[in-house]
Chains A and B, each alone.
Chain A
Amino acid sequence: MNGRERFERMILGRPIDRRPFGAILSLYGAVLTGCPTERYYNDAAAFALGQDAVMREVGPDFLTGPFLLAGFGEAFGSSLHYADRYVPTLSRPAISSAADIPSLSVPDVDAHPRILFYRDSIRRMAAAHGKEALILAVVLNPLDLPLMILGPEAWLLTVLTDGDGTRRMLDLTIPFFTLLCRSLFSDGADVIAMPMSFFTRAVTTDRLVRQLALPVLQEALPGVRGPVLFHHTGSSFIDHIGLLDALAGATAYSLDVHDDIADARRRIRGESLLLAGFDGPSLHALTPAEIRGRCLELLREHGDDGRFIPAATGTDVDPRTPLESLLAIRRAVEEFGSG
């Protein structure tokens, strides 16, 4: 049984040989191939080679496309900061205030080099591994996308004080987002994974969720026309997970390492998938033995939850993480088997 078959059977509630497992190993491919990050995040062939190595060395049940959030801003005119071993980050936003929104040009999803990098990476990954693993494409949702176009401060200021400016920006980002998601599905992505900053405790409030963030997703998601994984973005969004579960395409959730998995399950439908257990950026702080032990403990604790998937979430697994640590998760799910 391969990863794709495990997921498909899991969703249908059929028996599987073992739990699927995975981690956000988008960047880790560069570690395994020794590819400089500037090349890795600009050359889809290099990125895909990295994911070949992830598949070969780790063998997860899902692969993640470029987790390059700032790149979406770059497509709108922002600039990136490249670091030796880490994912490029936002250097300078495309615009500095909502007043500059009219100067923005929305990238053509069929022509912009940055967007083509995302799409070609997914195409190559799907062609090479789509039959054996699920392919996740990471896309910023329409409310998070402006964080990379205006920068976090200017976008937060706009959201808090300028209803018209907020709407003008969303009028650009919602159609772009839906078109990009549909394009990625046509390229071979199985699931769109989207960070959910505006639903997390670190960023938002209940009022902002209900009056702003939720209506934006209600407007945008029907246009995506496919399954969606809501990703916690490094802070808990468990308070609002029940609201998300009613949205079009809601299929899976990745939880913060501190979240109570059973509590999350109580808040959502039984058929939704829950990915949780480890924090990718700090996984290197645990020994492989600790990881294996923790994974087995999670599997025993949540064995009755047929749609719980042990995974390292957060942002990318840190490059300092030894391969043995990732294999420890795999060994634990294999040891636990179908139990």
Chain B
Amino acid sequence: MRQGDGKKPVDPNVITTLENAVLQADMKTGRNILREAAAAYGYETLISEVFEPIFTDIGERMKRQEVSLAQSYVLSLMVDDLLRIDQTASGAGKRMARRGPVVLANIEDDCHPLGRKIVSTILRLHDWDVCDLGIDVEARLIAQKAVEVKARVIGVSAMIFTTAENIRKVREEIDARGYRGRILLAVGGAVFRLRPELAAGVGADGTAANAVAALTLFEDLWRKAEEW
């Protein structure tokens, strides 16, 4: 996240109320506060002084598996709103990605985008350039896109065992193109939370149990990948 612009000091109640809105999955209240706070403090302050502490606290809760799907989704929707506020306020192109690119997709036959979208949003909030291919994407196309944009990390999501098996094909595509070690493969989704050992089984270089852990995983893999 970027540093704030140090304008008006933030009312601590704004942080508390916004975080409570996330924890109660109260999108309506959250959006109202977000809009008012953006007007009062500006985008940079909102990021650094409001969302940073909320994200840190909710991230800790995620690590303890205390955050529900509805709460994660509301956080993700609010971050989406925030990124839109940035674009609206500053015109096109102010917010520049400083890391990446990375490629995200739901593997072939998997049509459950929620987890992938949350990870995508959290990565973008942290200045990653995310190339999000959507649901039900063939392994060939995922690898092809990674090579095309020079991504050093691919993140692939699957919800159930049978679709997770299709991720092996991404591993094969990466290797067949000669990019083993240069493009690393991260996997996630419900089946990997239940069976983390499956990640190695499908040829992944790492997995993460939630969006916060995914952020750390992408940073680790990006560092480990050979530059090309």
Which of A89, A90, A157, A204 meets B68, CB within 8 Å?
A204
Instruction: List 29 A-B residue pairs with CB atoms under 8 Å apart, sorted by A's residue number.
Output: A81-B109, A81-B162, A83-B160, A83-B161, A83-B162, A86-B161, A86-B162, A89-B162, A90-B111, A91-B109, A92-B111, A93-B111, A153-B73, A153-B112, A153-B117, A156-B70, A160-B25, A160-B27, A160-B70, A160-B73, A202-B68, A203-B70, A204-B68, A205-B23, A205-B24, A205-B68, A207-B25, A208-B24, A281-B194
Q: Are B109 and A207 in contact (CB under 8 A)?
A: no
Q: Are B113 and A153 in contact (CB under 8 A)?
A: yes
- Report A-chain residues with C-beta under 8 Å of the C-beta of B161: 83, 86
- Report B-chain residues with C-beta under 8 Å of the C-beta of A204: 25, 68-70
- Does residue B62 face the partner (Cβ distance < 8 Å to A)? no
Which of A153, A205, A206 meets B114, CB within 8 Å?
A153
Prevailing SS type, chain A contact patch: mixed
A-B pairs, 7 with minimum CB distance: A83-B162, A153-B114, A207-B24, A205-B25, A160-B27, A203-B69, A161-B27
- Report A-chain residues with C-beta under 8 Å of the C-beta of B160: 83, 86, 89
Q: Are B111 and A91 in contact (CB under 8 A)?
A: yes
Q: Are A157 and B73 in contact (CB under 8 A)?
A: yes
- Does residue A201 face the partner (Cβ distance < 8 Å to B)? yes
- Does residue B77 face the partner (Cβ distance < 8 Å to A)? yes
Q: How far is the CA of A157 from the CA of B161 in the complex (A)?
A: 25
Whether A202 touches B111, Cβ cut-off 8 Å, given contacts A83-B162, A89-B160, A207-B25, is: no
- Does residue B74 face the partner (Cβ distance < 8 Å to A)? yes
- Does residue B26 face the partner (Cβ distance < 8 Å to A)? yes
- Does residue B120 face the partner (Cβ distance < 8 Å to A)? no
202-221 of chain A: CB within 8 A of chain B: 202-208
Besides A156-B73, A205-B68, A208-B24, 7 more A-B contacts (Cβ < 8 Å) are A83-B160, A89-B162, A90-B111, A202-B68, A203-B69, A203-B70, A205-B71
- Report A-chain residues with C-beta under 8 Å of the C-beta of B159: 89
- Report B-chain residues with C-beta under 8 Å of the C-beta of A159: 70
Closest A residue, CB atoms, query B112: A152
* Chain B: interface size category: 20 to 34
Q: How far is the CA of A156 from the CA of B113 in the complex (A)?
A: 12
Q: How far is the CB of B193 from chain A (nearest CB, A)?
A: 10
- Report A-chain residues with C-beta under 8 Å of the C-beta of B73: 153, 156-157, 160
- Report A-chain residues with C-beta under 8 Å of the C-beta of B68: 200-205
Cβ proximity bits B4-24 to A, threshold 8 Å, 1 near / 0 not: 000000000000000000011
Q: How far is the CB of A239 from chain B (nearest CB, A)?
A: 11
Q: How far is the CB of B101 from chain A (nearest CB, A)?
A: 24
Cβ proximity bits B138-182 to A, threshold 8 Å, 1 near / 0 not: 000000000000000000000111110000000000000000000
Q: How far is the CA of A201 from the CA of B68 in the complex (A)?
A: 6
Q: How far is the CA of A151 from the CA of B109 in the complex (A)?
A: 14
- Report A-chain residues with C-beta under 8 Å of the C-beta of B77: 157, 160-161
183-213 of chain B: CB within 8 A of chain A: 194
Cβ proximity bits B88-121 to A, threshold 8 Å, 1 near / 0 not: 0000000000000000000001011110010000
Q: How far is the CA of A93 from the CA of B114 in the complex (A)?
A: 14
Q: Are A207 and B111 in contact (CB under 8 A)?
A: no
Which of A151, A157, A202, A205 meets B112, CB within 8 Å?
A151
- Report A-chain residues with C-beta under 8 Å of the C-beta of B28: 161
Q: Which of A89, A93, A159, A203 has the most CB of B within 10 A?
A: A89
Which of B26, B69, B109, B194 meets A156, CB within 8 Å?
B69
Q: How far is the CB of B132 from chain A (nearest CB, A)?
A: 14
- Report A-chain residues with C-beta under 8 Å of the C-beta of B74: 160
Q: How far is the CB of B62 from chain A (nearest CB, A)?
A: 12
